[in-house]
Amino acid sequence: MMLMPPFELHHPKSIEEACKMASSFMELGESFDWVAGGTDLLPNYKWHINVKKHVISLAKISGTDTISMTEIGAMARLNAITESDDVHPLLSEAAAKVASSLIRNNATLGGNLCVDTRCFWFNQSEDWRRSIDWCHKEDCGTGSDCRVIPNQNTLCVATYQGDLAPSLMVLEGIIHLIGPSGSREIPAEEFFQLDGITRNVLEEGEFVLKVTFPENVSSRVGSYHKLRVRESWDFPEAGISAAWIPGDGSTLRVASTALESIPRLHLEQVAELSGEFNSNQIKSLSEAVMKSIKPVNNTTLPPRYRKAMVKVLAKRSLNQILEASE
Amino acid sequence: MSGGYRQQPGASRGTTRKDGKRVAGKQKFPPPGSGGSHPNMAPRDLDWIPESVGGNEPQPAGSHIHDRYRTGTSVGKPRALVDSHAKVTGQAWYGDDVRLPNEIIGKILRSPHHYAKIKSIDTSKVEALPGVLAVATGQDAPNTFGVLPVTKDEHAMAVEKVRHVGDLVACVAAIDEATAMEALNLFEIEWEVLEPVFDPKKGLEDQDEPIHWRGKYHVGKTNVQKRVFQEFGDRSLVEEPSASSHGKWRMEGVHHGFTEPHAVVAHWDPNGRLQLYTPQQVPHYAHRALSTVLEVPMHQINVIRTFVGGGFGGKSDPFPHEMCAAILARKAGRPVRINFSREEVYWINRGRHPSHIEVKMTADEDARISGFDIDALIDGGGFASFGHVTSYYNGVLATAPYELGSFHYTGARVWTNKPASGAMRGHGAVNTRCAVEVGLDEMAEQLEVDPIDLRLANLLPPHSRTISGFRITSNGMREALERVRKGSNWDQKFRQMPLGKGIGIGCGFFISGSGLPIHWDPNRFPHATVHMQIDMDGGVTVHTGAADIGQGSTTAVAQVVSEVLALPIEMIHVRSHESDTSPVDLGSYSSRVTFMNANAAIRAALDIREKLLNAAWEMIGYHPDVLVLNDRRIYYKHDPAVGVSYLEALHKAQEDKGSLIASGAYRSPPMGGVHKGAAAGLAPAYSFSAYVAEVDVDVETGLISCTDVWAAHDCGKALNPLAVEGQIIGSCHMGLGQVLSEKMVYGRTGHLQNPNLLEYKIPSIHEMPNVTPIIVESSDPEGPFGAKEAGEGPLLPILPAVVNAVYDAIGVRIRELPLTPDVVWKAVSAKTKSLDGIDSTDLPAPRLTHGPLQATLVERGNEHKARDKKRQRSEDTSAYVNGVLFGFDPERPMEDQVEGWRTAVEPNPEQLAELGLAGKAWLKQEQRQMGGEQ
């Protein structure tokens, strides 16, 4: 049995109330977490990972679970996205590949974007982490070293294993944030920030409100390929999304996830195609994407293999969007 | 009125003749028996009564000694388990469902070090914490225990040193879980950290501080816990083979992954007796160990087995947390509960041993298997557990179902600073079996023959003796192979499918109950005892110690009693939860329960049956030989109207005595060789199985998906076909986990990296193939109604079947389990590199053109089929020992016929240099031979 550590759960009814709540905690110097579906946060709490005194739930704020082609609320449940006919097919495909059906009933788009980075030295019980003298990501005040790459205390290399981020990137998604100091919009590819501890650009008190897409998003053809041991519910060990507006090579976008501590949009590698995209380029583009990625040994499958699979997944994604465009 | 028998006319004229005998057909119709949902006797169901006693049930494998007691009531009929209602309605009480008034929560402090001496433990701060009611450390229970009497190397909590991360150091009981957890942080411990060992190969080397010390029997100063050497046969046969296979395997450790984490509640009752609630497979061993550790006589302890939420071998050791709960409860004076987290389950482990297995095998010019040469180095982790036995099983359980020219086995089990390995479904046999079956596949390829035909032409027949002296009785191996071949459409698929699609075969052989009861002399005390009692109400209460761990042992016992006494199963009440009321029983391991307990139950039921029939004899004047038991009624064979109801006979039998009591016992017959270790693997019967698996392999990613399995298992007689099929499908699932995705990952620092069910990858329902269970019934002469085991053996063949299917799909032999996608990808990459860097999608799929030996094998297989049938049906009762295939006379000792035939349990000095990895354990001497510790 794992005992959930005690915390106080708050249920603001509006965005304003939520922001106010956050700023008052900040003023008091009290720690808090946001929770949406809770499928990532609560298991971590049970492991006594980064437990905060307060948890603010976004579940009772109405109007944050909208689903349409150009806008999806942060509180939209993944199963709703999966089943919706009104979202981009790439998003429902990617959402359907997240975890299991039971988890998708609760899990949300916002939660999936902000999913904590994972590492087998970190996602363990307190007793377990004590036995390795903690790690850099949660050092419990000991200044512990990184266990993945010893002798470096600068970056956390825990792996980001969210499924939806690369698809948002290739669909030119814009992430809308809101917090006590106002709201802002940021392209999906700029939302994530090194390292495994920082994870993203969210300031304290800020949360993801929604994701919007350009008007022409429905003309994009996309594909997401996910590598995992068990199709039933595993986190991705590697994931590649690709999308383009058929016939226009300059619109091609390729993004990866579950390989490094942040998901990435591979602009440079695509730029080398100089605006052209056809089947002859798939091999070289896949290889270029593979070469730009440096996974580390902190997930189930070894990094060398995951890296090699980038090429295969990229090839399959690119082939698929080409075929679908014919 | 429906059913039952109508009264014949004329009954009113009296029912007795002048001479006092009853008149056939003119009896007062007896009142219906009690019990069951139908008031009238059901007609006799001839379809479930064997041909040999006049029924319609076909008996292709011959008649059985228990046929006379078949009443057509229960045996062979598919039925839901008797405890299924409790389970599906959520009323079954598992370890965590026991709630006693006033209970408090115990927590265990676990070692953060792999290997360390405890210099001191200060518990004063813990004791001072409000809410803490008891604290205990190793000093509170210094006596050792262990599941095997020969290797008692465990303590309730570490006494002098800890042996792995997660080893028990101390425990605390508090008013609630939060307080107990807080208390764990207040222990002050001074450690002296020692150099740990993780690699089993290192365990073979001398160490300053071996993990355990065995005194004069210690092997050098190594961490070798057990070493085995066995050699049988003529080693000259393996020279100049016409085919050979040499494989070095690396198999990762796997865990049982049962649903229910361990949980225990200990309560010292007002009389000072310990009542211990625990989900145990083997309550009796826990009972013994508790007595030793707590220094309380066994009769002052009552072990109550709760429902068991899956065991698979992982709940068969006496566990230290059971001791801890009892110690804490004694100190606190209140019931103490300890519940495990999943991570603690992995730390107590007892899963399958991580293994290095090397198999060399050879075939001669006639495609006879001239030699098996097996070397198994197994990683035992921190404690012995069942390891002594596992060390033998890794070799000896490979001596059948094939006839061998020679057999050579070296095995060693070493202690390492990791959670202890132990017994897991298919105990000790699984890994070697996989290696052997894959080797056969490879040899078949070299010989240019079909691997199924190679097997069919080399099988030991029924009623034979293996090279190491095991007594094979019934043997359904051939039928199993034939049926999966047909079912899978093998001949149209094997070596004919496109790249990425493959089909493979694997066989299995497993014990049906260990022949040796490890705690006592089998000649003086039986393996299993069953008590039975019937009071005036007519319900049958059966007391057995057989632990139902979900496999259905309670149902099996109820079924055989129901069958013998011809009572509906609702009238049979099996009581097996408490040691106070259960006869001593070895518990649920080594697939012994159906075979042994059902046999004991049959004996007890026969005793009752005799009493009932004698009573009926007295009442209606017909001798029991001409009486028939049917549904709640006993009647004259030639006129069913002449009879008495079950209750009438029962009450007659109870006159002057009160309730009917009977006891039945089972003991295995004397058997086996006399060499050291001859008892390991000895069983009163053996199960056989053959599976064909079909897979899809993604050659680019290495991902394997097993799509179909045809699974034939010889269980002797399916007492309950539904349960047998469930066991087959469940075994497939568990074996697939081991072959495809499950492994206990020990990282760079020796820590178990995946002690949770997200990262320890048990296949889900989504990954399950379509399994077609095929039940083979070879009618074992000594099994209850012919039954043998079906719980463990069915796991074995799935591993090699999948590995061989992967070869068929991509032409790459992989000898590393599990076949995770990275392992497959690595092997495929090596192969494509060796083929001038071709693309993996251009790999050649293996093909087979039959060579000249194929016809020879088919012919030999057909001859053997006729031979086997005669032997199975006891039309041929001549002796058959391993070696007849090689032209030897079964009536004379092999040593007298063959120069060089050897039976050895220690290596010759000249062999020492050429032994494999585990064999290196024989390079060291025991302390007593070195003049140490006499």
Other Cβ atoms less than 10 A from the Cβ of B28: the count is 11
DSSP B263: E
At which of B607, B631, B666 does a domain end? B666
- Closest residue in B to A226 (Cα–Cα): B701
**Among B187, B289, B257, CA closest to B755:** B257
Is residue B288, in this structure, part of any structural domain at all? Answer: yes
At which of B348, B373, B404 does a domain end? B348
Query: Residue B438's pLDDT is what?
Result: 98
Indicate the residue type of B616.
A
Judged by CB atoms closer than 8 Å, whether chains meet at B821 and A125 is answered as no
- pLDDT above 90: residue B761: yes
Sheet holding A8-10, edge to edge: A8-10, A54-57, A32-35
Residues B528 and B603 placed together within one structural domain of the fold: yes
Query: What pLDDT, in 10s, does the model give residues A175-206?
Result: 999 999 999 999 999 999 988 999 999 999 99
Is residue B363, in this structure, part of any structural domain at all? Answer: no
Residues B730 and B748 placed together within one structural domain of the fold: yes
Which residues in chain A are closer than 8 Å to B183, comparing Cβ atoms? Answer: none
Query: From the CA of B651, how many Å to the nearest CA of chain A?
Result: 52
- The SS3 call for residue B699 is coil
Query: What pLDDT, in 10s, does the model give residues B238-285?
Result: 888 999 999 999 999 999 999 999 999 999 999 999 999 999 999 999
Residues B721 and B815 placed together within one structural domain of the fold: yes
Query: From the CA of A307, how many Å to the nearest CA of chain B?
Result: 11
- pLDDT above 50: residue B31: no
Query: Residue B932's pLDDT is what?
Result: 72
**Among A297, B598, A134, A301, CA closest to A313:** A301
Question: Which parts of chain A register pLDDT below 70?
Answer: 1, 153
Mean pLDDT, rounded, for B98-121: 97
**Among B463, B360, B458, B450, CA closest to B401:** B458
Is residue B19, in this structure, part of any structural domain at all? Answer: no
Instruction: List, as ranges, residues 303-322 from A with C-beta within 8 Å of B.
Output: 304-305, 308-309, 312
- Closest residue in A to B822 (Cα–Cα): A305
- pLDDT above 60: residue B738: yes
Mean pLDDT in chain B? 93
Q: Does A145 touch chain B (CB under 8 A)?
A: no
Query: Residue B15's pLDDT is what?
Result: 54
Query: From the CA of A131, how many Å to the nearest CA of chain B?
Result: 4
Is residue B8, in this structure, part of any structural domain at all? Answer: no
The residue to which tokens 């013994």 are assigned: B288
Query: From the CA of B700, how many Å to the nearest CA of chain A?
Result: 7
- Closest residue in A to B825 (Cα–Cα): A305
Mean pLDDT, rounded, for B48-75: 95
Residues B560 and B494 placed together within one structural domain of the fold: no
Query: Residue B14's pLDDT is what?
Result: 54
Sheet holding B104-110, edge to edge: B132-137, B168-174, B104-110, B336-339, B263-268, B274-278, B301-305
Domains by residue range for chain A, with CATH: 224-325 (3.30.390.50)
Burial of B16 (0-12, 13-18, 19+ CB in 10 A): exposed
Which residues in chain A are closer than 8 Å to B340, comparing Cβ atoms? Answer: 1
The residue to which tokens 């009618």 are assigned: B779
The residue to which tokens 């178990």 are assigned: B752
Residues B541 and B473 placed together within one structural domain of the fold: no
Query: From the CA of A36, how many Å to the nearest CA of chain B?
Result: 21
Query: Residue B35's pLDDT is what?
Result: 43
Mean pLDDT, rounded, for B204-212: 95
Query: Residue A24's pLDDT is what?
Result: 96
For the ranges A54-58, B126-130, B391-395, B589-593, the lowest mean pLDDT is seen at B589-593
Residues B71 and B136 placed together within one structural domain of the fold: no
Query: Residue B16's pLDDT is what?
Result: 58
Query: What pLDDT, in 10s, does the model give residues A211-265?
Result: 999 999 999 999 999 999 999 899 999 999 999 999 999 999 999 999 999 999 9
Residues B528 and B616 placed together within one structural domain of the fold: yes
Q: Which of A120, A227, A302 sits opposite B759 (nearest CB)?
A: A120
**Among B168, B180, B167, B169, CA closest to B103:** B180
Is residue B26, in this structure, part of any structural domain at all? Answer: no
Other Cβ atoms less than 10 A from the Cβ of A255: the count is 27
Which residues in chain A are closer than 8 Å to B767, comparing Cβ atoms? Answer: 230-232
Other Cβ atoms less than 10 A from the Cβ of B187: the count is 18
Which residues in chain B are closer than 8 Å to A127, comparing Cβ atoms? Answer: 110, 112, 166, 343
Is residue B170, in this structure, part of any structural domain at all? Answer: yes
The whole-angstrom separation of Cα A310 and Cα A290 is 5
* Domain count along chain B: 3
Judged by CB atoms closer than 8 Å, whether chains meet at B741 and A128 is answered as no
Query: What pLDDT, in 10s, does the model give residues B153-178?
Result: 999 999 999 999 999 999 999 999 99
The whole-angstrom separation of Cα B24 and Cα B5 is 13
Which residues in chain A are closer than 8 Å to B178, comparing Cβ atoms? Answer: 3, 6
pTM to 2 decimal places: 0.95
- pLDDT above 60: residue B34: no
Which residues in chain B are closer than 8 Å to A229, comparing Cβ atoms? Answer: 741, 761, 820-821
Whether B934 and B260 have beta carbons less than 8 Å apart is answered as no
Residues B628 and B589 placed together within one structural domain of the fold: yes
Q: Which of A127, A300, A305 sits opposite B825 (nearest CB)?
A: A305
Alpha-carbon distances of B86 from A226, B83, B313, rounded to whole Å: 41, 6, 23
Judged by CB atoms closer than 8 Å, whether chains meet at A308 and B821 is answered as no
Query: Residue B6's pLDDT is what?
Result: 44
Which residues in chain A are closer than 8 Å to B746, comparing Cβ atoms? Answer: none
Residues B452 and B330 placed together within one structural domain of the fold: no
Query: From the CA of A119, how many Å to the nearest CA of chain B?
Result: 10
* Residue B822 host element (H or E): helix B821-834
Which residues in chain B are closer than 8 Å to A151, comparing Cβ atoms? Answer: none
Query: Residue B393's pLDDT is what?
Result: 96
Residues B503 and B542 placed together within one structural domain of the fold: no
CB-defined contacts A:B, below 8 A: 79
Which residues in chain B are closer than 8 Å to A235, comparing Cβ atoms? Answer: 758
Judged by CB atoms closer than 8 Å, whether chains meet at A230 and B741 is answered as yes
Position B38 confidence tier, pLDDT thresholds 50, 70, 90? low
Domain that holds residue B752: 427-516+680-826+849-893
Which residues in chain B are closer than 8 Å to A234, comparing Cβ atoms? Answer: 758, 761
Residues B804 and B884 placed together within one structural domain of the fold: yes
Mean pLDDT, rounded, for B431-457: 98
Which residues in chain B are closer than 8 Å to A231, comparing Cβ atoms? Answer: 766-767
**Tell me, what's the ipTM?**
0.96
Query: What pLDDT, in 10s, does the model give residues B689-713?
Result: 999 999 999 999 999 999 999 999 9
- pLDDT above 90: residue B10: no
Judged by CB atoms closer than 8 Å, whether chains meet at A130 and B112 is answered as yes
* Residue B107 host element (H or E): strand B104-110
- pLDDT above 70: residue B20: no
- Residue B186: give its domain's CATH number: 3.90.1170.50
Query: Residue B22's pLDDT is what?
Result: 58
- Residue B875: give its domain's CATH number: 3.30.365.10
**Among B56, B261, B421, B254, CA closest to A1:** B261
Q: Which of B111, B755, B764 sits opposite A230 (nearest CB)?
A: B764
Query: Residue B934's pLDDT is what?
Result: 56
Query: What pLDDT, in 10s, does the model give residues B530-540?
Result: 999 999 888 99
Whether A30 and A78 have beta carbons less than 8 Å apart is answered as no
Query: What pLDDT, in 10s, does the model give residues B710-735?
Result: 999 999 999 999 999 999 999 999 99
Query: Residue B641's pLDDT is what?
Result: 83
The whole-angstrom separation of Cα B63 and Cα B59 is 6
* Residue B303 host element (H or E): strand B301-305
Kindly list the residues of chain B whose beta carbon comes within 8 Å of any beta carbon in chain A.
96, 110-113, 165-166, 177-178, 181, 261, 339-341, 343, 700-702, 741, 747, 749, 751, 753-755, 758-759, 761, 763-767, 820-822, 825-826, 829
Is residue B871, in this structure, part of any structural domain at all? Answer: yes
Query: From the CA of A315, how many Å to the nearest CA of chain B?
Result: 11
The whole-angstrom separation of Cα B138 and Cα B159 is 5
Which residues in chain B are closer than 8 Å to A122, comparing Cβ atoms? Answer: none
Judged by CB atoms closer than 8 Å, whether chains meet at A132 and B751 is answered as yes
Q: Which of A120, A127, A229 sits opposite B753 (nearest CB)?
A: A120
Query: What pLDDT, in 10s, does the model give residues B553-604?
Result: 999 999 999 999 999 999 999 999 999 999 998 888 889 999 999 999 999 9
Residues B564 and B711 placed together within one structural domain of the fold: no
Q: Does A125 touch chain B (CB under 8 A)?
A: yes
Distance in Å from the first CA to the final CA of chain B: 82
The whole-angstrom separation of Cα A93 and Cα A82 is 7
Is residue B911, in this structure, part of any structural domain at all? Answer: no
